[in-house]
Chains A and B, each alone.
Chain A
Amino acid sequence: MPAAAKPQSSRKVAARSSRTAAKPKPAAKQVAQAALVVGGGVAGMQASLDLANQGFKVYLVEKSPSIGGRMAMLDKTFPTLDCSACILTPRLSEVARHPNIKLLTYTDLEGVIGKVGNFKVRVIKRARYVKEELCAGCGACAKECPVEVPNEFDQGLGFRKAIYVGFPQSTPSTYTIDMESCIKCKRCERACERKAIDLEMEDERVEFDVGAIIIATGYRLFDVRRYYRLGYGRLPDVINAMEYERLINAAGPTQGHLIRLSDGKTPQSIGFVQCVGARDVNKGVPYCSRVCCMYGIKNAVMAKEHNPSTDVTIYYADIRAFGKGFEEFYEMARTRFGVKFLRGRAAEIIEDVRTGKLHLRAEDTETAQPQEFEHDMVVICPGIQPPDDLDKIAEKLGVAMSNDGYVDVVHRYFGPVDTKMPGIFVCGCADGPKDIPDSVTAGSAAAMKASIILAKGGAA
């Protein structure tokens, strides 16, 4: 079993600025028996586990305070309606307690030099102002904190304190102080019995060597404000699908009560608008986002489950229920749950100020009639886009990008998880939209390819 590589140095960025970077190693080619995984969502976690289970050391770098990625925000998953947190949580703890995985959360990739078999990686572990080794995640600090700011994890619908964890299953469970909001009252410091809080903490640079790298940076949702006529951002009861996920989640800002943001009332009629920021050449997103049809149907079913008398309509272009069990789920949504499906792109949503109702204008393409439908709430189902910082990460790693902003792969058959830079692999949504099982599978596949390099000695 390969010996685990240790971080070579760990020092304060401020303390030393000299960059007498790596001296060339004298001996023959030596392969670091470790890998770097960038991104701690389902794909990155799977890749990490599959490498660590082979005995390789894995540095898992995640920019946010917790691993879990987007899946941690979801309420239920299609097509089985399994609760997302329930199936994800064991995975989070498996990663966190794996002896071969070094978890580096709240950490950014600073730079990478070298080549396949021998990359030198520098990351910046941002100061969270709470010592990971001391914090037990008890939350006594957050109780005392007087500052409340919108919680990013809840899409800004709920609040968190300036010292916070995003969600209950946050991994690690270490709290983080958001210095931009902190008023330095030091109440948290006094509340913490374990003396874990360190307001003087500084960012820390960590350097280590790896033989292979896996990019698993995930996705961001298309900003639906760009479709001005759909009213998102202007009309409070037009929300996006991720906001909806948090609204129906028991651990979310409303404890799982599905309500209108305008008046707190339970919506009796909900419309779901598909293909917003997907399959639209004019908006620079010509491709299909693969997941929206199914999460749209799943969310429609959940609306029915929360309140069976709710009138639920999905406005779609094509229903792409292509994966295992998907078509069957679509059929169940139609027949058993009574979700209505209307083929037509929503053109415009306006608010009737007298009644507070939303009027959705769409052409029913099956009857070729432009129509107007009334809803209490409209959920926009945005497509998937590459995350904001993917281009910067790709530049640091020297990997090629395709013109739609995703990481380019060598070949769909001969190298579906290989980037054009030897020794660097890609999985999950970093090379294009994917659902959870496809992301997990790609994570395993990327780990397979990386392990061949680590075991062989760097030959790509």
Chain B
Amino acid sequence: MSTTTAESSPAVNWEPRIIAYCCNWCSYAGADLAGTSRIQYPPNARILRVNCTGRIDPEFILVALEMGADGVLVSGCHPGDCHYTSGNLKLRARWALMQKTIEQAGVDPRRVRLQWASASEAQIFADGVKELTEQVRKLGPIRSEWK
């Protein structure tokens, strides 16, 4: 059940496609601040806004990978700072299990990233997108991994 790191010739014009689930109160606002501060980061992520990372069902991540997302970013409030007191902790509890599941499906767990970025942490948000994009670029297109 080892993961395969696809060195197998990615298409020439291949660009990583990343789904980013962001909570409305911290990370979506952090991404807004990255924009107003004109912080530049790779254009590979598509942000989906949810009220709270607690809303994120592991299925949302699995479905995204299955549909061909090369990476999934989940970004929420820091533990203890959740706008809804503890939604992010519920997500964190699900996270380990979810990682196991995708690993069992043969997908490299490094394709999913969980990060905490507050409304003022524009740089952390942008760095997160950048690091995941680079990571996924190294891993290659997801199509090569599904078993």
Spell out A's residues near B (CB within 8 Å): 80-82, 305, 332
Q: Do residues A80 and B36 form an inter-chain contact, with CB atoms below 8 A?
A: yes
Q: List the A side residues contacting B37 at CB < 8 Å.
A: 80-81, 332
Q: Do residues B38 and A82 form an inter-chain contact, with CB atoms below 8 A?
A: no
Q: List the B side residues contacting A82 at CB < 8 Å.
A: 36
- The minimal Cβ–Cβ distance linking A200 to chain B, given in whole angstroms, is 49
CA A346 to CA B23, docked complex, whole Å: 49
Residue of B nearest to A301 (CB): B38
* Contact-residue size bin, chain B (C-beta under 8 Å from the other chain): under 10
Q: Considering the complex of A and B, which 8 residue pairs feature the smallest CB-CB distances, nearest first?
A: A80-B36, A81-B36, A82-B36, A305-B38, A81-B38, A332-B37, A81-B37, A80-B33
- The minimal Cβ–Cβ distance linking B41 to chain A, given in whole angstroms, is 14
CA A448 to CA B9, docked complex, whole Å: 68
- The minimal Cβ–Cβ distance linking A201 to chain B, given in whole angstroms, is 44
- The minimal Cβ–Cβ distance linking B126 to chain A, given in whole angstroms, is 12
Q: List the B side residues contacting A305 at CB < 8 Å.
A: 38
CA A305 to CA B36, docked complex, whole Å: 12
- The minimal Cβ–Cβ distance linking B39 to chain A, given in whole angstroms, is 8
CA A199 to CA B11, docked complex, whole Å: 69
Q: Contact mask B25-41 → A, CB, 8 Å, 1/0?
A: 00000000100111000
- The minimal Cβ–Cβ distance linking A337 to chain B, given in whole angstroms, is 8
- The minimal Cβ–Cβ distance linking B38 to chain A, given in whole angstroms, is 7
Residue of A nearest to B32 (CB): A80
- The minimal Cβ–Cβ distance linking A116 to chain B, given in whole angstroms, is 43
What are 9 contact pairs spanning A and B, CB under 8 A?
A80-B33, A80-B36, A80-B37, A81-B36, A81-B37, A81-B38, A82-B36, A305-B38, A332-B37
Residue of B nearest to A77 (CB): B36
Q: List the B side residues contacting A81 at CB < 8 Å.
A: 36-38
CA A82 to CA B37, docked complex, whole Å: 9
CA A305 to CA B33, docked complex, whole Å: 16
Q: List the B side residues contacting A332 at CB < 8 Å.
A: 37
CA A392 to CA B36, docked complex, whole Å: 41
- Additional A-B contacts beyond A80-B37, A82-B36 (7; CB < 8 A): A80-B33, A80-B36, A81-B36, A81-B37, A81-B38, A305-B38, A332-B37
Q: List the A side residues contacting B38 at CB < 8 Å.
A: 81, 305
Q: List the B side residues contacting A80 at CB < 8 Å.
A: 33, 36-37
- The minimal Cβ–Cβ distance linking B6 to chain A, given in whole angstroms, is 36
CA A82 to CA B33, docked complex, whole Å: 10
- The minimal Cβ–Cβ distance linking A326 to chain B, given in whole angstroms, is 14
- The minimal Cβ–Cβ distance linking A18 to chain B, given in whole angstroms, is 58
CA A303 to CA B92, docked complex, whole Å: 44
Residue of A nearest to B36 (CB): A80
- The minimal Cβ–Cβ distance linking A231 to chain B, given in whole angstroms, is 32
Q: List the A side residues contacting B33 at CB < 8 Å.
A: 80
Q: List the A side residues contacting B36 at CB < 8 Å.
A: 80-82
- The minimal Cβ–Cβ distance linking B130 to chain A, given in whole angstroms, is 16
Residue of B nearest to A83 (CB): B36
CA A80 to CA B36, docked complex, whole Å: 6
Residue of A nearest to B39 (CB): A336
CA A81 to CA B37, docked complex, whole Å: 7
Residue of A nearest to B35 (CB): A81
Residue of B nearest to A81 (CB): B36
CA A332 to CA B122, docked complex, whole Å: 13
CA A417 to CA B33, docked complex, whole Å: 33
CA A332 to CA B36, docked complex, whole Å: 12
CA A82 to CA B36, docked complex, whole Å: 6
Query: Which of chain B's residues 10-56 have a Cβ closer than 8 Å to chain A?
Result: 33, 36-38
CA A80 to CA B35, docked complex, whole Å: 9
CA A82 to CA B35, docked complex, whole Å: 10
- The minimal Cβ–Cβ distance linking A214 to chain B, given in whole angstroms, is 31
- The minimal Cβ–Cβ distance linking B125 to chain A, given in whole angstroms, is 15
Query: Which of chain B's residues 115-131 have a Cβ closer than 8 Å to chain A?
Result: none
- The minimal Cβ–Cβ distance linking A457 to chain B, given in whole angstroms, is 42
- The minimal Cβ–Cβ distance linking A10 to chain B, given in whole angstroms, is 45
- The minimal Cβ–Cβ distance linking A380 to chain B, given in whole angstroms, is 26
CA A332 to CA B39, docked complex, whole Å: 11
CA A81 to CA B33, docked complex, whole Å: 10
Q: Contact mask B49-93 → A, CB, 8 Å, 1/0?
A: 000000000000000000000000000000000000000000000
Residue of B nearest to A332 (CB): B37
Residue of B nearest to A80 (CB): B36
CA A80 to CA B119, docked complex, whole Å: 13
- The minimal Cβ–Cβ distance linking B121 to chain A, given in whole angstroms, is 13
